[in-house]
Amino acid sequence: MIHTIIKTRRGKTSEVSGTIAELTKYFGYTLLVGHSYNSRISLKPRTAESLVTNLNRAIEEKQRGSFDPDYYALKVEVPS
């Protein structure tokens, strides 16, 4: 199943789509950096929701104290 993650950085948004494995590989460095600060951040999330949660935790650890931190959200596809 293809998922889309929306990344917001400095007021600009971008979208990245792929399977859980592809998205985990794409955002792997962010997860790794967050995991180095907080071992509870999973490097291999199993669901899209878990991936987004772990990305937000990782970026919070990485950008601690930032005025305008990055943010990740899952794009919800509405069936037509």
> Does 67 or 29 have the greater pLDDT score?
29
Which pLDDT score is estimated for 67? 81
Residue partners of 79: CB distance under 8 A and separation at least 6 = none
The three-state DSSP-derived secondary structure of the chain is: CCEEEEEEECCEEEEEEECHHHHHHHCHHHHHHHHHHCCCCCCCCCCHHHHHHHHHHHHHHHCCCCCCCCEEEEECCCCC
pTM > 0.85: yes or no = yes
Q: Where are the domains of the chain?
A: 3-75
In this predicted structure, the answer to whether residue 7 has a pLDDT above a threshold of 80 is yes
In this predicted structure, the answer to whether residue 6 has a pLDDT above a threshold of 70 is yes
Give the pLDDT band (50/70/90) at residue 79.
low
pLDDT tens profile 18-54: 999 999 999 999 999 999 999 999 999 999 999 999 9
